[in-house]
Structure 1
Amino acid sequence: MKKAIYYMLISAVCFTAMNIILKSLDHFSGPQLVLFRALGSLFFTIPFLWYHKIPVFGIQKGLLIARGFAGVTSMGLFFVSISYLPVGSAVSLRYISPIFATVFAVFLLKEKVKPIQWLFFVIAFIGVLLAKGFNPQIEGLGLVLVLLSSVFSGIVYVIINKIGHRDHPVVIVNYFMCISVLVGGTLAIFNWQTPKDFEWLILLSLGFFGYFGQLFMTKAFQSQATNKVVALKYVEVVITLVAGVLLFGDSYPWLSLVGIALILLGLVLNIWFGKRKAVYKKR
């Protein structure tokens, strides 16, 4: 239990660091940020696959490629949205992706959803309306971009569910990063800005924090204490909100904060209820 808590908190800190760095680098184009985010992670994924002699190209190539393109679209839209939104709002709004994942799973994977889970989604959606309606810093374009990012993130969840355990998780991530390099690198050509001095290192650190954030979150979820630590995943939102206020001068009307709290409440309840159902089924 203690290890799971430590892993989840380390993950939250890593993702928060990545979010803050993204906000500080918003003078770079979205594709260029995607490119460096991917390059930084490939530094870890490729050696891992070679060392453990895991086939780099995987088994389900079609699904792996689809996951890569859906992932890079979601990531690119999120990176661009940060230029238009307070960083804390962008992170919290992107977390509604499980709503879209559930909708897609119902229609594409024929999964069943209990009525109470839809109630939790309504709570989260009301939170989105409050967060947008009472925060003048949330621009319409930024909101559209981050919601579209959540839609594609939901598609990613469904594809990963379809991939299952036939392909190694690092193979899935490696495909994602390789496709991100291709897409981000190609689009970055049209609006390239040469990094200066330490900006090269800071850009590559996006991949470092992103990779280890994902790694420690996976380790936490692999523990037997998943139900007890899953809510800590959203510590990232709280830390990012505070960092946004202190570092970038973001401000949040109290009703907007209530909206963000409702988003997190709805999502945590849905995850908790879903895990609880899985436990009862095993019994």
Structure 2
Amino acid sequence: MIISALAFTLLNVGVKYLGKFNVYQIVFFRALGSLFFTFPFLLKNKISFIGNKVKLLVARSIVGLIAMTMFFASIKLLPTGTAVSIRYIAPIFAALFALFLLKERIKPIQWLFFIAAFCGVLMLKGLETNVDSLGFVFALISALFTGLVFIIIRRIGNQDHPMVIVNYFMVTSFIIAGILSIKYWIQPIGIEWVALLSLGVFGYFGQIYMTKALQTSETRLVAPLKYIEVVFTMLAGVIWFTEDYTIVTILGMILIITSLVLNVIVVKRKQ
């Protein structure tokens, strides 16, 4: 899980570094880099590219594309640690979607954690005048759609291979973002090619190692480690982009992370 967090941190840093490029072009290269892994895997293992739950696969891909685009847009406008922290409230939206769409119960203690996490989000924006409002909205929209992604994947269940789900997502992002980026295309120069293509590599390995962690240990033990990404991203932002975090911002992040970690531990312990 720590390796996964590092990989996602490098992805976040890469997006910030490539700030001069339009977000659609960044999404395009993010998808392209991952397709170098998903296509060979499916071909080698003779897994159908089409899948079984086609409508849900397409829906997951479109919703995921919106979430990723909004997140990358927020990174361009916000300190990276702040953007990541806000995106991590996605499980709250997922729980709310599950309540209304899947009729799942939310334990009373979870409401306390959710309220605390939202208070942390309000601390990031409500008390901080240096937080870009548009970037804040983009991050919230990303969290909302990421929560919906969780629900769609739950509906797909085990009826499609995980790599099929990822491949659908990457192909959809590659095509749609590629078309949308034509108008804003900037020709990469030198190291920028490497940085753009590495986005997909970091994203792919971040996902793979997170999956491995969840497969080899109890979720309540390893899932909280994923939030180390916030710490890694903050440190990277301070070192590479001279980002500035106030005490209020740090306290807001701590409140969000603590609330979500406690939610994971309590829910999994009671299952």
Provide TM-score, normalisation by structure 1: 0.94
Give 1:254 deviation, angstroms: 0.6
Q: Which residue does 2:158 correspond to in 1?
A: 165
Q: Distance in 2 between matches of 1:219 and 1:192?
A: 36
Contact 1:101 1:158 in 2 (8 A): yes
Contact 1:104 1:158 in 2 (8 A): yes
Q: Please state if 1:209 is matched with 2:166.
A: no
Give 1:101 deviation, angstroms: 0.7
Q: Which residue does 1:5 correspond to in 2?
A: none
Q: Following TM superposition, where does structure 1 have runs of at least 4 consecutive aligned residues deviating by more than 4 angstroms?
A: none
Identity of aligned residues (%): 53
Q: Distance in 2 between matches of 1:34 and 1:18?
A: 11
Q: Which residue does 1:230 correspond to in 2?
A: 223
Q: Distance in 2 between matches of 1:225 and 1:151?
A: 26
Q: Please state if 1:71 is matched with 2:48.
A: no
Give 1:226 deviation, angstroms: 2.5
Q: Which residue does 1:37 correspond to in 2?
A: 30
Q: Distance in 1 between matches of 2:166 and 2:70?
A: 18
Q: Distance in 2 between matches of 1:22 and 1:88?
A: 13
- From 18, 26, 40, the equivalent of 1:47 is 40
- From 98, 120, 123, the equivalent of 2:113 is 120
CA shift digits 1:71-128 (9 cap, x unpaired): 0000001111111100110011100011111111111111111111011000100000
Q: Which residue does 1:3 correspond to in 2?
A: none
Give 1:274 deviation, angstroms: 1.6
**Residue-pair matches, total:** 271
Q: Distance in 2 between matches of 1:148 and 1:40?
A: 25
Q: Please state if 1:100 is matched with 2:87.
A: no
Which moves more between the two structures, 35-44 or 221-230?
221-230
- Partner of 1:222, secondary structure, is helix
Q: Which residue does 1:251 correspond to in 2?
A: 244
Q: Please state if 1:180 is matched with 2:173.
A: yes
Contact 1:127 1:262 in 2 (8 A): yes
* One-letter amino acid of the counterpart of residue 170, structure 1: M
- Partner of 2:224, secondary structure, is helix
Q: Which residue does 2:270 correspond to in 1?
A: 277
Give 1:199 deviation, angstroms: 1.1
* One-letter amino acid of the counterpart of residue 198, structure 1: I
CA shift digits 1:158-213 (9 cap, x unpaired): 00000000000000000000000111101101111111112112101000000000
* One-letter amino acid of the counterpart of residue 198, structure 2: S
Contact 1:86 1:137 in 2 (8 A): no
Provide TM-score, normalisation by structure 2: 0.98
Contact 1:92 1:237 in 2 (8 A): yes
- From 2, 22, 47, the equivalent of 1:9 is 2
CA shift digits 1:110-155 (9 cap, x unpaired): 1111111011000100000111233333111000011001111011
Root mean square deviation, CA, Å: 0.9
- Partner of 1:194, secondary structure, is coil
Q: Distance in 2 between matches of 1:135 and 1:196?
A: 36
* One-letter amino acid of the counterpart of residue 263, structure 1: I
* One-letter amino acid of the counterpart of residue 102, structure 1: A
- Partner of 1:82, secondary structure, is helix
Contact 1:133 1:256 in 2 (8 A): no
- From 112, 126, 139, the equivalent of 1:133 is 126
Q: Structure 1 regions of 5+ residues with no counterpart?
A: 1-7, 279-283
* One-letter amino acid of the counterpart of residue 138, structure 1: V
* One-letter amino acid of the counterpart of residue 45, structure 1: T
